[in-house]
C-alpha cells in the first residue's frame, strides 16, 4: 500500500509540476492526413493562408521523413504512428490479410464480439493490435488523462488510438453519424449524440463542390479534365454536384468530410474538457479525405489542389479555436501521414512526359499467375493448387513431387518474374531470416512482415507501375519513395521554427511525444525520440 501511494504521489508531482511550470503541454493533438505526400507542402505552399502556413512558419518540419516499411497502407500506417512500432511488431501488416488456415480475408480491425453502441457502429476494435500505443502509455502512468480519437475510417481511429483509449469514433456513411462500439463505451456521450442530431451534413455541405479560389490558381498545376481521373456526374472536371440521396457517401471524397471531423474533434475538446484539467490529454485525429480524393483524382489534380487549400483553412480555424479553449502555449501538435501515394499514371505520362503504367490485375496479372499454377500442377502431377490464393505455396505438393521448398520457391519466382509488371518476389524465409543475396527494398518488407499473418510470398511491382483493378484513379502500397515520403511536422509549446533534413521515420513520432510528456515508451518499440523536439 505504501509503495502504491508513493507511486501515485510521484505521478502527481510529475504531471502537476510540468503543467504549473508551463514546460509541457496540457493537450497533445496528433493528426494524420491520410495519403498526404510530403511534396504537397512544397507544391501548394503558395496557396496556404491558414493552418499549414502557420505550422510551417512557427514549427519544425522534417523534410526527409519516410515510412521505412511496406506495404504503405492505411492500417499499418496508423498503427505505426500510434505505437511507434513497425508492422513486424504491431501485427497490422495491411488493411486486410488472408488467414492461413481458412484462406478467408481478415479485416485489420474486425471484431465480431464488439457490439453496437446504442444500436450504431460495432463490429470493430483494436483486438488485432499486438502492442500498446501512445495513448496506452499515457493512461498507464496517468489514468485520469483522456485519450480520444476520431476519423472517417474506423481502422484509422482505432489503430492510431491504441488498445484502450477512452473512446474511438468513426463515420458511418449510411447513417451520416459518428459512431463507436461497446468495446469502448456502452453509452455514447451526450455531446456525440448532440453532434449527430445536429445533422452537420445538411447544414454545412453545399449543393456543389466548387473551387475555393480563382481558376488561375488551379491552372498552374495542370489540366482539370484528364483521362484516368474518376468521373463525378459524368465528368472529371469541376464542379461536382452532391446528390441529396448520396451525400452521406459523397462527402468522404470531398474537403467537407475533413471539415466535419475537425468540428467533431473540437466538440470533444469542449465537452470532454481536453487540455483544461490538471493532467495532460491526447486527441488523435485522422483526416481521410485526402486519401479518397487522391485515389479518385490523383495528387496533381485540381481536386487535390482545392483539398489542400480548404484543409489549410480548416486546420487554421481548428487550431485557433482549440487555443481559445485550452489557452495559447498549452498545445503540442504533431502532424504526419499514414502513407503517400503514386501519381496518377495518365498525369505522369501526358503532362509530365515521364514513364508510368496502369496494369489491370484482372486481365494482365491474375490470369498469368493462375496459368503458372496450372503449369506447376501438371509438372507435379497434382490436382491441388500449388499457388493458393496468390499468397501461399503448397509445399507438401512440391515435396510429394520430389521438389524441396527452396527449389519450389525458385521455380515460382522464375515464373512470376516473367509476368510484366512484377519486378521482384520475396519469400517468407527471406522476410524472417534475411538472405545473403542483395534484394532491393527487402528491409522495407521485413519491417512490414508479421509471420503469423504473413503470406508465403510478396510481389513487388515495377516502379511507377500501378497494379490495380480500376481503369481510373491511383493508389499506394509499395516501398517506393512516392508512397513512403510523408510529412512530419511539430508545432506548439517548446517547438522551434526550423527545417530538419536528416532522415527520420513515422515510428519516431510517438516516442517523441511520450518524452515531451515525461513518460517512458516501451523499450521494445522501433522509433526513437526526435532530438530536435526533445533535448
Banded pLDDT at 438 (limits 50, 70, 90): confident
- Higher pLDDT, residue 19 or 514: 514
How many angstroms separate the CA atoms of 395 and 390, rounded? 14
Which residues share a beta bridge with 492? 332
Residue with cell 485526402: 290
Q: What is the 3-state secondary structure (H, E, C) of 172-234?
A: ECCCCEEECECCCCCCCCHHHHHHHHCCHHHHHCCCEECCCCCHHHHHCCCCCCCECECCECC
Whether 225 and 286 have beta carbons less than 8 Å apart is answered as: no
Which residues share a beta bridge with 387? 393
- Residues ≥6 apart with Cβ < 8 Å to 240: 208, 209, 232, 233, 254, 303
Whether 348 and 336 have beta carbons less than 8 Å apart is answered as: no
**Percent of the chain predicted with pLDDT > 90:** 93
How many angstroms separate the CA atoms of 246 and 251, rounded? 9
pLDDT at residue 436, as a whole number: 66
Banded pLDDT at 115 (limits 50, 70, 90): very high
Cell of 204: 454545412
Whether 200 and 141 have beta carbons less than 8 Å apart is answered as: no
Banded pLDDT at 437 (limits 50, 70, 90): confident
Which residues share a beta bridge with 65? 504
Average pLDDT score over residue span 1-23: 43
Q: Taking 80 as the threshold, does the pLDDT of residue 126 lie above it? A: yes
Cell of 369: 499467375
User: CA dist 203 to 135, 171, 320, 411, 446, Å?
Assistant: 33, 17, 22, 60, 48
Average pLDDT score over residue span 481-509: 98
pLDDT at residue 16, as a whole number: 39
> pLDDT tens digits, residue range 282-311?
999 999 999 999 999 999 999 999 999 999
Residue with cell 518540419: 61
Whether 467 and 361 have beta carbons less than 8 Å apart is answered as: yes
- Residue 168: its H or E element: strand 167-172
Average pLDDT score over residue span 521-526: 93
Q: Taking 90 as the threshold, does the pLDDT of residue 19 lie above it? A: no
> pLDDT tens digits, residue range 49-103?
999 999 999 999 999 999 999 999 999 999 999 999 999 999 999 999 999 999 9
User: CA dist 488 to 129, 197, 494, 533, Å?
Assistant: 23, 35, 16, 12
User: CA dist 285 to 152, 269, 375, Å?
Assistant: 10, 12, 49
Whether 323 and 337 have beta carbons less than 8 Å apart is answered as: no
> pLDDT tens digits, residue range 326-346?
998 999 999 999 999 999 999
pLDDT at residue 3, as a whole number: 47
DSSP for 458-508 reads: EEEEPTTEEEES-SS-----SSSHHHHB--EEEEETT--SEEEEEEEEGGG
Q: Taking 80 as the threshold, does the pLDDT of residue 365 lie above it? A: yes
- pTM of the full structure: 0.94
List the domain boundaries for the chain. 16-103+131-164+208-345+480-517, 357-463
> pLDDT tens digits, residue range 376-423?
999 999 999 999 999 999 999 999 999 999 999 999 999 999 999 999
pLDDT at residue 396, as a whole number: 97
Query: Which fold, 357-463?
Result: Gyrase A; domain 2 (3.30.1360)
pLDDT at residue 6, as a whole number: 44
Q: Taking 60 as the threshold, does the pLDDT of residue 22 lie above it? A: no
How many angstroms separate the CA atoms of 139 and 341, rounded? 34
- Residue 65: its H or E element: strand 60-66
With CA atoms as reference, report the closest residue to 297 among 224, 213, 365: 224
- Give CA angle at 348 (346, 354), nearest 5°: 120
Whether 257 and 205 have beta carbons less than 8 Å apart is answered as: no
Q: Taking 50 as the threshold, does the pLDDT of residue 4 lie above it? A: no
Q: Give burial (CB, 10 Å; 0-12/13-18/19+) of 182.
A: middle
Q: Give burial (CB, 10 Å; 0-12/13-18/19+) of 294.
A: buried
Banded pLDDT at 179 (limits 50, 70, 90): very high
Average pLDDT score over residue span 213-241: 97
**In this structure, CATH architecture of domain 16-103+131-164+208-345+480-517:** 3-Layer(aba) Sandwich (3.40)
Whether 357 and 364 have beta carbons less than 8 Å apart is answered as: no
Amino acid at each position: 500500500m505504501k509503495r502504491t501511494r508513493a507511486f501515485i504521489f510521484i505521478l502527481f508531482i510529475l504531471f502537476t509540476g510540468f503543467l504549473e511550470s508551463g514546460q509541457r503541454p496540457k493537450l497533445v493533438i496528433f493528426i494524420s492526413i491520410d495519403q498526404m505526400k510530403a511534396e504537397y507542402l512544397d507544391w501548394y505552399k503558395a496557396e496556404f493562408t491558414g493552418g499549414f502556413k502557420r505550422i510551417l512558419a512557427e514549427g519544425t518540419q522534417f523534410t526527409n521523413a519516410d515510412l521505412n516499411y511496406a506495404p504503405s497502407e492505411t492500417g499499418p500506417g496508423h498503427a505505426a504512428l500510434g505505437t511507434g512500432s513497425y508492422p513486424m511488431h504491431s501485427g497490422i501488416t495491411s488493411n486486410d490479410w488472408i488467414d492461413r488456415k481458412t484462406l478467408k480475408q481478415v479485416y485489420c480491425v474486425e471484431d465480431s464480439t464488439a457490439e453496437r453502441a446504442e444500436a450504431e457502429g460495432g463490429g470493430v476494435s483494436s483486438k488485432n493490435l499486438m502492442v500498446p500505443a501512445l495513448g496506452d502509455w499515457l493512461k498507464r502512468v496517468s489514468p485520469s488523462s483522456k485519450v480520444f480519437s476520431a476519423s472517417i475510417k474506423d481502422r484509422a481511429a482505432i489503430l492510431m488510438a491504441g488498445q484502450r483509449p477512452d473512446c474511438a469514433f468513426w463515420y458511418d456513411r449510411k447513417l451520416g453519424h459518428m459512431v463507436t462500439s461497446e468495446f469502448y463505451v456502452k453509452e455514447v456521450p451526450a455531446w456525440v449524440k448532440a453532434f449527430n442530431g445536429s445533422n452537420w451534413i445538411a447544414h454545412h455541405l453545399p449543393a456543389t463542390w466548387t473551387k475555393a479560389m480563382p481558376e488561375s490558381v488551379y491552372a498552374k498545376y495542370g489540366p482539370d479534365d484528364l483521362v484516368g481521373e474518376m468521373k463525378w456526374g459524368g465528368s472529371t472536371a469541376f464542379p461536382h454536384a452532391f446528390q441529396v440521396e448520396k451525400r452521406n457517401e459523397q462527402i468522404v471524397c470531398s474537403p467537407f468530410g475533413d471539415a466535419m471531423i475537425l468540428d467533431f474533434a473540437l466538440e470533444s475538446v469542449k465537452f470532454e474538457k481536453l487540455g483544461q484539467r490538471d493532467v495532460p490529454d491526447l486527441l488523435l485525429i485522422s483526416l481521410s479525405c485526402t486519401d479518397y480524393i487522391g485515389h479518385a483524382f490523383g495528387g496533381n489534380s485540381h481536386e487535390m489542389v482545392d483539398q489542400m487549400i480548404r484543409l489549410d483553412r480548416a486546420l487554421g480555424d481548428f487550431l485557433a479555436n482549440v487555443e481559445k479553449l485550452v489557452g495559447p502555449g498549452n498545445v503540442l501538435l504533431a502532424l504526419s501521414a499514414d502513407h503517400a501515394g503514386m501519381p496518377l499514371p495518365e498525369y505522369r505520362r501526358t503532362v509530365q512526359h515521364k514513364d508510368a503504367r496502369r496494369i489491370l490485375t484482372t486481365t494482365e496479372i491474375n490470369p498469368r499467375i493462375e496459368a503458372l499454377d496450372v503449369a506447376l500442377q501438371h509438372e507435379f502431377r497434382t490436382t491441388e493448387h500449388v499457388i493458393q490464393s496468390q499468397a501461399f505455396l503448397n509445399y507438401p505438393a512440391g515435396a510429394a513431387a520430389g521438389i524441396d521448398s527452396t527449389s519450389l520457391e525458385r521455380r515460382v519466382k522464375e515464373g512470376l518474374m516473367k509476368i510484366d509488371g512484377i519486378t521482384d518476389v520475396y519469400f517468407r524465409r527471406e522476410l524472417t531470416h534475411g538472405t545473403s543475396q542483395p534484394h532491393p527494398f527487402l528491409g522495407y518488407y521485413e519491417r512490414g512482415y508479421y509471420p503469423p499473418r504473413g503470406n508465403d510470398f510478396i510481389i513487388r511491382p515495377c516502379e511507377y507501375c500501378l497494379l490495380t483493378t480500376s481503369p481510373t484513379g491511383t493508389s499506394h502500397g509499395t516501398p517506393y519513395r512516392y508512397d513512403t515520403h510523408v510529412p512530419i511536422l511539430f508545432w506548439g509549446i517548446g517547438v522551434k521554427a526550423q527545417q530538419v533534413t536528416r532522415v527520420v521515420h513515422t515510428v519516431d513520432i510517438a516516442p517523441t511525444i511520450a518524452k515531451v510528456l515525461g513518460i517512458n515508451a516501451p523499450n521494445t518499440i522501433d522509433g526513437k525520440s526526435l532530438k530536435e523536439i526533445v533535448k
